[in-house]
Structure 1
């Protein structure tokens, strides 16, 4: 059958390829003060975008046996990158975690939804440690799942004897490998928990309220140099603490004016120390300096390059590549920020 198909199909495949009109690549760029700029690089949403281009014979086999069943983003939420440059995206819609390795042209999907013990059902946010171990919060299970860089399950932090999780709704997570600490927000408790690497609680930060150091449904968090940044969602701001949990300052306010936040979701820091905050409802990313002044924003509601629908996760790597999880569009958008050469000390993500 394969030989017969080989005799019949080449002309059809060639004709289809010849008649296919190449799509015009989208372009998006924002020029900023001082020669800075932000350029849209690409979208990605599927395992197929990581794999090498399939040759003629692979495509011929696809005709006979069927095309590969590639994984794709369903309802992506959180994002980070490890030291190898792999992009790690949580996907509560698929009950798993996608690992995109564009450099090695590899892809992996981590899941545990069928497990009788410590099943991972709703992965929320993600972080990595210095060894590239992967830490994933599960908002429904109430646990933190730890995986090796290969994706092999290691353990669940917060797993109780009855099978339930200790945390009410763990969301944001960050790992301080040097000090051997794990920071995690418990959204329904309005607190940040500080754990050792074995999962023992060392400290809690915050309580319910609207004052300095108080939270109303905190979500994502990020470590940056000596600081801990927490998205205080329903207080419509980002609060900044030192690593010991002492309040330093806040960015943002409620309202519909410039610099206000309506539904902040995630935060990250660029090499110059500026704060990027995703606002899901407005479909934009706002950029503030450390004095809380709005520098600029980018994005709008839509489906084209530089447009978002319910964006959620955000991560900026050491090369100032800005990754935005465009959740309702079921994709990740990648931008390149080009700023000044002098970086702010302690601005490591």
Structure 2
């Protein structure tokens, strides 16, 4: 499997065309302050579209970057500079403005990392009635409120923008929540025990509907779902263990399509995990078995993949990846991590459960001076000629 994924530029000419055509709208960072070799995906000679920017596993990593690179510093909500907070086995990740939220399934902590404010602390409301027991995934609404799915408490816990505990929901629904999504009106809870989605009113938490098991066609229903994402149009995307597919549903639970299938080829999944949808409607899906992330367009067509198993690159690799989150906030801050001439369009956050980069940060962008349109045209022309030759 890995051999297939590592020969991108040699054997996947058409895939390269689709990648650049769909991602052509661009992005790229400014002057890099890091003394490291740039790691781009896809690798040269293909034009770069994603760059590994930075990563960390504990608060002292961030403090070291501050002293060595004048980028970040350690902020502590406990006494003494010797306090080091460590990400042990992170799973869910989300971001709001400059803050990054990371759920650690082993320690019971939920880390709140603000790179612009130079702080790395634990969620203050994680105590008493708001104490987390086994948090896996999380979401943030447009007001900065945090929603955390806890598979041991069998509830979704809610915290305000300051991190203080507000409420918990789900106990009366007989659920095992593994993920959560939220929009202006609704709270969506992914229930592993019933392989469906509970839809609640965001303000009152009243149970309004249950979706995901409504189709007469078993292939269109959820089956052992693990992760969920919500796009700007209210479309839900759910990763399923049983079928190794990502199922696409509207707010009412109608089946809209699916992405991938079980296998070792491009566009297929071994074991899909975290998923995220960007503002352009592109789906980013983590595959823990292949240890990479794949990007699909709105029609389920594979655009590209990025990340490599840890043995393939010195840094910027994925090592038992769990979740992914794509956003456009704080781009000016992240720009400083990018290579000269590479301008950022989006930031991609990935959690790894092993290694020195428990949170890996990538940037989707465009390199200055590269004619992406011309490259697409030339590559497509070569693809057509090769296809015609093969027909003869």
What TM-score comes out, normalization by structure 2 length? 0.70
Tell whether 2:206 aligns with 1:200.
yes
The secondary structure found in structure 2 opposite 1:189 is coil
What does 1:105-184 align with in structure 2 at a 5 Å threshold? 105-110=118-123, 115=128, 117=129, 119-159=131-171, 166-177=173-184, 180-184=185-189
Q: Which residue of 1 aligns with 2:6?
A: none
Q: Which residue of 1 aligns with 2:319?
A: 309
Decide which moves more: 43-52 or 301-310: 43-52
TM-superposition CA deviations, 1:118-168 (whole Å, max 9, x none)? 6421011111111101110001110011111221111111245xxxxx443
Cα distance in 1 between the residues matched to 2:325 and 2:153: 24
TM-superposition CA deviations, 1:222-259 (whole Å, max 9, x none)? 11122111112221111111222211110011122222
Of 230, 245, 255 in structure 2, the residue corresponding to residue 223 of structure 1 is 230
Report the CA distance between 1:300 and its aligned residue. 2.2
Given that 1:272 and 1:339 are in contact with CA atoms closer than 8 Å, whether structure 2 keeps it comes out as: no
Decide which moves more: 306-315 or 27-36: 27-36
Structure 2: unaligned runs, 5 residues or longer: 1-33, 69-78, 329-344, 368-392
Aligned length: 300
The secondary structure found in structure 2 opposite 1:230 is strand
Report the CA distance between 1:49 and its aligned residue. 4.2
Decide which moves more: 285-294 or 34-43: 34-43
Of 308, 318, 333 in structure 1, the residue corresponding to residue 360 of structure 2 is 333
Cα distance in 2 between the residues matched to 1:54 and 1:99: 21
Q: Which residue of 2 aligns with 1:59?
A: none
Q: Which residue of 1 aligns with 2:110?
A: 97
Which is higher, the Rg of structure 1 or of structure 2?
1
Cα distance in 1 between the residues matched to 2:174 and 2:301: 35
Of 231, 235, 240 in structure 1, the residue corresponding to residue 248 of structure 2 is 240
The secondary structure found in structure 1 opposite 2:218 is coil
Tell whether 2:350 aligns with 1:324.
yes
TM-superposition CA deviations, 1:176-201 (whole Å, max 9, x none)? 12xx2001100121001111122221
Structure 2 vs 1, CA of residues 79 and 199 (structure 1 numbering), >3 Å: closer, same or farther?
same
Q: Which residue of 2 aligns with 1:251?
A: 259
Report the CA distance between 1:174 and its aligned residue. 0.8
Higher normalized contact order (CA 8 Å, seq sep 6+, divided by chain length): 2
Tell whether 2:190 aligns with 1:185.
yes
The secondary structure found in structure 2 opposite 1:188 is coil
The secondary structure found in structure 1 opposite 2:257 is strand
Report the CA distance between 1:50 and its aligned residue. 4.6
Given that 2:125 and 2:159 are in contact with CA atoms closer than 8 Å, whether structure 1 keeps it comes out as: no
Report the CA distance between 1:297 and its aligned residue. 1.3
Cα distance in 1 between the residues matched to 2:210 and 2:131: 26
Structural RMSD (CA): 2.8
Q: Which residue of 1 aligns with 2:291?
A: 283
Given that 1:208 and 1:215 are in contact with CA atoms closer than 8 Å, whether structure 2 keeps it comes out as: no
Higher helix residue share? 2
Q: Which residue of 2 aligns with 1:75?
A: 89
Structure 2 vs 1, CA of residues 54 and 167 (structure 1 numbering), >3 Å: closer, same or farther?
farther
Structure 1: unaligned runs, 5 residues or longer: 1-22, 56-64, 161-165, 341-349
Tell whether 2:277 aligns with 1:266.
no
